Amino acid sequence: MMSSGNDCQPQTFTKPAFGEKEATELVDRVFGLKVSWIRPLPSYDDQNFHVCVSRNKGAAEGADEYVLKITNSEDSQKPDLIEAQTRAMMFLSAEGFPSATPYFTKDGNIMSLEPDTGPGNKKYMVRLLTYLPGTPVAKIATNTQILYEVGKLAATLDKALSEKFHHPSVKSLHRGQFIWNLANVPLLDQYIYALGQNKYREVVQRVIEQFKGEVIPKLSSFRACINHGDLNDHNILVDSSSASLENPQYRVSGILDFSDMSYGYYVFEVAIAIMYMMIESPDPLSVGGHVLAGFESVLPLTEEERGALFLLVSGRFSQSLVIAAHSALLYPENEEYLMITAKTGWKHLMKMFEVGQAAVEKTWFETAEAYAKHAPAK
């Protein structure tokens, strides 16, 4: 099913540019809350503010923290999609997952389309979401326990969404040619020119060709589900549940950014998680086994799904690298930020192909088997 608009275009958006004063007025006007302090948060294509509001008279003394999320102008034209994402967050929170929930507008809605004060009359979708505590995985030294937890989270999250989330807006998650859906690796052909003639281009072309030949024909044999689609090291927050500095035990305290949600397959989610956890690791090729073990403790992969894992992880690296290069051409001022992941990403993708699929899979699957052997009987 084709999706609406320019979903297959990577990053052609107008990022909102509200000042702190305008954002403060927005919170008051739309949500009826008084801001006591506000600060901008980093974001790729939307605008986010961390806001603290003072509680109304009569309520307990104190303050509440939220994230004011102002969606870019293009995505703001897809209210059904934003609604599906927000309803999914509400559903997951009710199921016990640490996801944010919206503070309702004065009119009792989960979001509001608000005009820009500047020229161009663009409108932006505005939401106020609960602020989640914790440290992004990107900021901690990952250990095998957190890798396992992330894998387990990927499986339980998709399983809950796919089995129990039935809000009518869910149909908008059939996003056709959405460029970040892993099934759409072949669409990278259109953007590969952004890599110029550098040495990496060849390996990406190889990934795309192998993907077309070996993954696309097998898609129908994979188990379908709803994917979060972006369980990266900045979108998973953790806090340490033990005081031991040598061996901290982490638990997931927040899941952020549902904007890449779409219908896909269970194996996509574990591949995406593996790729992003590799970025942070000093020993990237070993990461996959620990993430896979966590995932398979909830949802064991089939033979076909396992067989596609190497190319799916490589495909996600390729998406990330090509889209970053393309965005850097469009928005040179963001180049430095865009290229942070890219630097490590290239290194890891090249390494995967140097070592080769068979050896990488052997490492992953043997690590995962070792967990399965020691697992307590269910």
Q: Which is catalytic among the residues 7, 45, 230, 257?
A: 230
Return the pLDDT at 340.
Answer: 73
Rg (CA), the chain: 21
Query: Would you tell me how many other CB atoms lie within 10 Å of the CB of residue 265?
Result: 24
Dihedral (Cα; 343, 349, 353, 356), 10-degree rounding: 130
- Say if CB 253 and CB 235 are below 8 A apart: no
Return the pLDDT at 61.
Answer: 55
286 pLDDT tier (thresholds 50, 70, 90): very high
The share of the chain scoring above pLDDT 90, in percent, equals: 75
Domain boundaries along the sequence of the chain: 20-130, 135-374
* CATH code reported for the domain at 20-130: 3.30.200.20
Q: What is the pTM of this model?
A: 0.91
The share of the chain scoring above pLDDT 70, in percent, equals: 92
**Whether the predicted pLDDT of 310 surpasses 50:** yes
Read off the pLDDT of residues 111-152 as tens digits, 9 standing for 90 and up.
999 998 776 778 999 999 999 999 999 999 889 999 999 999
| Span 43-62, average pLDDT | 77
Read off the pLDDT of residues 7-43 as tens digits, 9 standing for 90 and up.
455 545 678 889 999 999 999 999 999 999 999 987 7
Place of tokens 């089995």: 163
Say whether 230 is catalytic: yes
**Whether the predicted pLDDT of 344 surpasses 80:** yes
Task: Residue 4: name the closest of 80, 88, 113, 87 by CA.
Answer: 80
187 pLDDT tier (thresholds 50, 70, 90): very high
Return the pLDDT at 12.
Answer: 55
Read off the pLDDT of residues 54-96 as tens digits, 9 standing for 90 and up.
876 655 555 699 999 999 988 999 999 999 999 999 999 999 9
The three-class DSSP label of residue 357 is helix
Among the ranges given (89-103, 232-246, 354-368), the one the predictor scored with the smallest mean pLDDT: 232-246
Q: Which CATH number fits domain 135-374: 1.10.150.120, 3.90.1200.10, 3.30.365.10, 3.40.50.720?
A: 3.90.1200.10
Integer Cα distance of 346 and 355 in angstroms? 14
Integer Cα distance of 172 and 176 in angstroms? 10
> Is the fold of 20-130 the same as that of 135-374?
no
Task: Residue 93: name the closest of 255, 244, 299, 226 by CA.
Answer: 255
Integer Cα distance of 14 and 91 in angstroms? 30
Read off the pLDDT of residues 147-172 as tens digits, 9 standing for 90 and up.
999 999 999 999 999 999 999 999 99
